[in-house]
Amino acid sequence: MLTVDHLRGQGLRDVAFTVAEGTGLAIIGPSGAGKSLLLRALADLDPAEGSVILTTTGAGVLDRSLVDAPTWRRHVAYVPTESGWWADRVGDHFRDPAVVAPILVDLGLPADCLGWTVQRLSSGERQRCALARALEQAPEVLLLDEPTSSLDDTATKQLEAVLRRRLAEGVHLVLVSHDPDQPARLALPTRRMVDGRLLETESMAETVG
């Protein structure tokens, strides 16, 4: 269970929600509402007051305020819309090619892309490689910021199939999306963020701003 209570910080105003194992939450809302700031605070990348506690069978109880940030982020993985790349070769961003190769294939990428240069990757390929990088460490929580914003329909379906399998395996998913149909395809409840506040549950089919 991921339990968030009275989370306050830059652009955030008393955010509270819970996500059980194997379920998720889709967050929609206009640009500048605080959606990305929320994901960053949950990942302990930005300072924020309030409680964020992860309770799972495997990890036990982890309190964001009581563990160091690198340890927290091994369990709670954040994938921004545009991820950072620090080496020239794609494969240098992964720990174990044997583990990540099938993940890349499931995401619609060739396994030999590990030998490519990062400059060769398109925006959509970078998004999928960044997700594979997070999935390689087998986190209990995935925080995804518009993971399909640069993908075509085929790649989007492949990525969503991967997310459905991870949910079935017990992963917690917090997803920011501007695709009005994506929450329904992933069977996620939806809440709208406005001016740093997370409002009550609304229809998954509502058009987002």
The CATH number assigned to the domain holding 46 equals 3.40.50.300
Task: Look at residue 203 in the predicted model and tell me its pLDDT.
Answer: 45
Strands 76-79 and 48-56: unpaired
Task: Look at residue 200 in the predicted model and tell me its pLDDT.
Answer: 79
pLDDT single digits (tens) 169-206: 999 999 999 899 999 999 999 999 999 999 976 543 34
**Interior angle at CA 145, CA 49 and CA 41, nearest 5:** 10
Task: Look at residue 58 in the predicted model and tell me its pLDDT.
Answer: 77
Residue 43 lies in a domain: yes
User: pLDDT averaged over the chain?
Assistant: 93
Task: Look at residue 159 in the predicted model and tell me its pLDDT.
Answer: 98
Residue 164 lies in a domain: yes
Task: Look at residue 59 in the predicted model and tell me its pLDDT.
Answer: 75
Mark the ranges of the chain whose per-residue pLDDT is less than 70. Answer: 201-209
Task: Look at residue 202 in the predicted model and tell me its pLDDT.
Answer: 57
Residue 51 lies in a domain: yes
Task: Look at residue 209 in the predicted model and tell me its pLDDT.
Answer: 35
Residue 48 lies in a domain: yes
Task: Look at residue 204 in the predicted model and tell me its pLDDT.
Answer: 38
Task: Look at residue 201 in the predicted model and tell me its pLDDT.
Answer: 63
Residue 89 lies in a domain: yes
Residue 209 lies in a domain: no
Total domains in the fold of the chain: 1
Residue 166 lies in a domain: yes
Q: Please give the residue range of the domain that contains residue 178.
A: 2-202
